[in-house]
Each structure stands twice: as structure tokens, then as C-alpha cells.
Amino acid sequence: MDKYFVHESSYVDDGSQIGNGTKIWHFSHIMSGAIIGENCNIGQNVVISPKVILGNNVKIQNNVSVYEGVICEDDVFLGPSCVFTNVINPRSFISRKEEYKQTVIHKGASIGANSTIVCGHDIGKYAFVGAGTVVTKSIPDYACMVGNPCRILYYVCECGEALDFSKSNYCKCKRCSKKYQKTDEKVEEI
């Protein structure tokens, strides 16, 4: 017996794997070969392509297509209508499946609504990609990225609160009291 929920309007192809407690909502399609962890929430009108891997507790909002080559680690959030690519130079008349590039969204990262993630770039753990951002390069851990092309606005705590490194290379989160150190454009929890 399945220990996950699939709305009657959605399709789950044979050969996909879905973890306990996961919910798949209206008009979504999980393709054969997709691997979805436990306690995920797949919103309305979502497509999960073959060979996509979603960790545990991944939240995907409405109207997102997650294409082959994308890996989301645990606790990732994908905002409404965010876009992934998997080929750099697509043409409808040329098959480029052998050119798919991998994109890894690391643990706890959040992707804002209507963002575009160009393939072949990693998004660091607990990073935050603001709404409408175009990601054209890899993103460091804890970075808050905005714009087209994306740039670092500031760094964020694991809880999502902005970190203030203006006076020191050390910072304590105002919300949860976790401590961080910044060195050479790299932020680490200490």
C-alpha cells in the first residue's frame, strides 16, 4: 500500500520512487525514473522528469518543471513558476540529451518565484535566490542572490534572516543566535 498521497488528476508513472508522507497535488506528472524523498510537497501543475532526485522535505510550488539533471537535496524550496534548464544551446531539430548539465540545489536552499536557473550551476546550502532572479553562475552557501544576472545582495542565516557582516567578519543571527564567520566571500556556521 502506498504511503503517499496523489491527487486523482495527477499521473505517477511506473518506475518512479516516492517516499512516505509525500503529497502530489492537482495536474502534476511524476515520470518514470524520478526519485522523490519523504514528506515532500509537490504543488499543482508540476512535472518531475526522469532521473530527477528530490531529497526529503522538498517543497515545490505550483507550475514548476524539474528537468533531468536537477538534484534537490533535503529541505529545498522551489517557488512558484521557477524555471530550470538542462541544455545550454537547445534546438528543437537537434537532440542534445547527451549534453544535459547537472544542477544541484544544496540542503535548505530556497528559489524564489519566477527565477530562472541556467543549467550546470550549483546553488549552495541555505542560499536564497530572490524572486525573478536569473542564475548564471554557481551560488555560495548562505548567499542571497538577486538580479539578472544574479549578484550577491547579502548573506543569510540557516533560518533565512539577513546576516550583517558590515562591522566584523563574525556575525550572530538576530533571530536564532547561530554564529557565522565570513572569509574571502565564503560564509560558514561556527
- Looking at residue 185, its pLDDT comes to 76
Fold of 5-189: UDP N-Acetylglucosamine Acyltransferase; domain 1 (2.160.10)
**Mind listing the pLDDT tens digit for each residue in 28-52?**
999 999 999 999 999 999 999 999 9
Confidence label for 184 from pLDDT (cuts 50, 70 and 90): confident
| pLDDT, greater one: 1 or 171 | 171
- Give every strand in the sheet of 35-36, ordered side by side: 17-18, 35-36, 53-54, 70-72, 103-105
Closest CA to 60 of 16, 26, 95: 26
Q: Check whether 109 has a pLDDT greater than 70.
A: yes
- Better-predicted residue by pLDDT, 1 or 169: 169
- Can you give the residue ranges of every domain in the chain? 5-189
Mean pLDDT of 16-20: 97
| pLDDT tens-digit readout, 65-76 | 999 999 999 999
